[in-house]
Amino acid sequence: MSIIVYIEHIEGAIKKTSLEAASYASALAEQQGVDAKGVVLGTVSEDQLASVGTAGLSTVYHVNDDQLNAGVIQAHAEAVAQAFEKAGADTLILAKSSLGDAVAARLAVKLDAGYISNVVALPSTSGTYTVKRSIYTGKAFAESEITKTNKILGVKKNAVPLKTDGAPASVEALEVNLSEGAFAAKITSIDKANDEIPLPEADIVVSGGRGMKGPENWNLIEDLAKALGAATGCSKPVSDSGWRPHHEHVGQTGVKVAPTLYVAVGISGAIQHLAGVNASKYIVVINKDPEAPFFKAADYGIVGDAFEVLPKLTEAIKAVK
């Protein structure tokens, strides 16, 4: 048997989260002494396809059908199920994402598989197949057991090291038969935020809170974000006050993010906000209140006035670049 990875892309660019899933699959394949392959759906260049090999996959099946570019869930599930059978796999790995979650749920039924999401570590196979997963928005962990022969694991963002030293993967065209029912639902339009970097996909996020005192000061947040190549976010009180659009609201009731770096400026650190950012790899907090709860969750903290710290930090970053 083998392992196959469902690889997502954005307009032809392989997503970092999928490379993390591929790295996880590579480690799992080594643990089990089997092969790890990937499947990519839609229009993607040969270079991008082969680049998946750096994460440890030997082969990538490419279903080159532009109907799949829109991310229709039922169609993706049918295509991946056929790739799963083609590979002779018993384990499917994917990144936890809005599309990945929906596809995985349908595949669990199609493949009669056990499905566990938010996976943070390789499974234990001594006696039973047990997987460690994150629960309660990252506040605890659970050990979950899969008893089915076929298994689907959704890997949490930033939970596993990214492998980068693998050889380019061989690319194999794969023809699939998609039913009419796979396209019964159609995506007629997609409205995207105007940000240069989509907040859920950003590797760096700079967020501001009420400590910025008003929308007229947001240029300081935007200048730092631009210097870092980051997306911008905000706390709930900021979006509720109309200082920033609601699609920038980061938190439990807004957008949940898991960037490599999250910079929180003038945000106290309410539990609802922390629940939306605690999957970040590194958290930097800038706040003039040394007792702000956010400092307890921070990897690095700066106690100081944002209006003094941000211009100096932005200039320092520009100088380094």
Distance, CA of 260 to CA of 269 (rounded, Å)? 18
Does the annotation list 100 as a binding residue?
no
User: For a pLDDT cut of 70, what percent of the chain falls above it?
Assistant: 98
3-state secondary structure of 129: strand
Q: Do 115 and 250 fall into the same domain?
A: no
CATH code assigned at 175: 3.40.50.620
Distance, CA of 315 to CA of 227 (rounded, Å)? 8
Tokens of 220: 């300081």
Q: Where are the alpha helices (DSSP H) in 52-178?
A: 73-86, 98-110
Q: What does the pLDDT read at residue 138?
A: 77
Q: What does the pLDDT read at residue 22?
A: 97
Does the annotation list 48 as a binding residue?
no
What confidence tier does 47 reach under pLDDT thresholds 50, 70, 90? very high
Whether 193 is covered by a domain: the verdict is no
3-state secondary structure of 197: coil
Q: Do 168 and 250 fall into the same domain?
A: no
Whether 109 is covered by a domain: the verdict is yes
Full-model pTM: 0.82
Q: What does the pLDDT read at residue 196?
A: 62
Does the annotation list 249 as a binding residue?
no
Whether 77 is covered by a domain: the verdict is yes
3-state secondary structure of 139: coil
Q: Would you give the distance in Å from CA 240 to the centre of its chain?
A: 26
CB 51 within 8 A of CB 12: no
Mean pLDDT over each residue of the chain, to the nearest integer: 93
Q: Do 204 and 178 fall into the same domain?
A: no
Does the annotation list 82 as a binding residue?
no
- Span 116-173, pLDDT tens digits: 999 999 999 888 999 999 988 777 899 999 999 999 999 998 888 899 999 999 999 9
What confidence tier does 87 reach under pLDDT thresholds 50, 70, 90? very high
Does the annotation list 12 as a binding residue?
no
If one compares 190 and 78, the residue with the highest pLDDT of the two is: 78
CB 267 within 8 A of CB 209: yes
Does the annotation list 247 as a binding residue?
no
Q: Do 12 and 125 fall into the same domain?
A: yes
CB 166 within 8 A of CB 78: no
Q: Would you give the distance in Å from CA 253 to the centre of its chain?
A: 18
Q: What does the pLDDT read at residue 243?
A: 96
Q: Do 214 and 175 fall into the same domain?
A: no
Q: Do 89 and 219 fall into the same domain?
A: no
Q: Do 255 and 230 fall into the same domain?
A: yes
Distance, CA of 202 to CA of 230 (rounded, Å)? 7
Does the annotation list 272 as a binding residue?
yes
Tokens of 105: 């749920």
For residue 48, the tally of other CB atoms under 10 A from its CB is 17
Q: What does the pLDDT read at residue 185?
A: 83
Q: Do 6 and 36 fall into the same domain?
A: yes
Strands 150-155 and 113-119: parallel
Distance, CA of 57 to CA of 222 (rounded, Å)? 38
DSSP string, 231-290: EEEE-HHHHHTTSS-GGGBBSTTSB----SEEEEES----HHHHHHHTT-SEEEEEES-T
Q: Does the structure show a pLDDT above 80 at 192?
A: no
Q: What does the pLDDT read at residue 194?
A: 60
Whether 273 is covered by a domain: the verdict is yes
Q: What is the mean pLDDT of residues 19-41?
A: 96
Does the annotation list 133 as a binding residue?
no
Does the annotation list 207 as a binding residue?
no
Distance, CA of 294 to CA of 264 (rounded, Å)? 9
Q: Burial code of 152-182, b = ≥16 C-beta within 10 A, e = fewer?
A: bbbbbbbbbeebeebeebebeebebebeeeb
3-state secondary structure of 185: coil
What confidence tier does 195 reach under pLDDT thresholds 50, 70, 90? low
Q: What does the pLDDT read at residue 126?
A: 82
What confidence tier does 303 reach under pLDDT thresholds 50, 70, 90? very high
Number of structural domains (the chain) is 2
Q: Do 155 and 237 fall into the same domain?
A: no
- Span 223-261, pLDDT tens digits: 999 999 999 999 999 999 999 999 999 998 898 898 999
What confidence tier does 187 reach under pLDDT thresholds 50, 70, 90? confident
Domain span at 49: 2-183
Does the annotation list 197 as a binding residue?
no
* Residue 210 vs residues 241, 245, 287: alpha-carbon distances, Å: 9, 14, 11
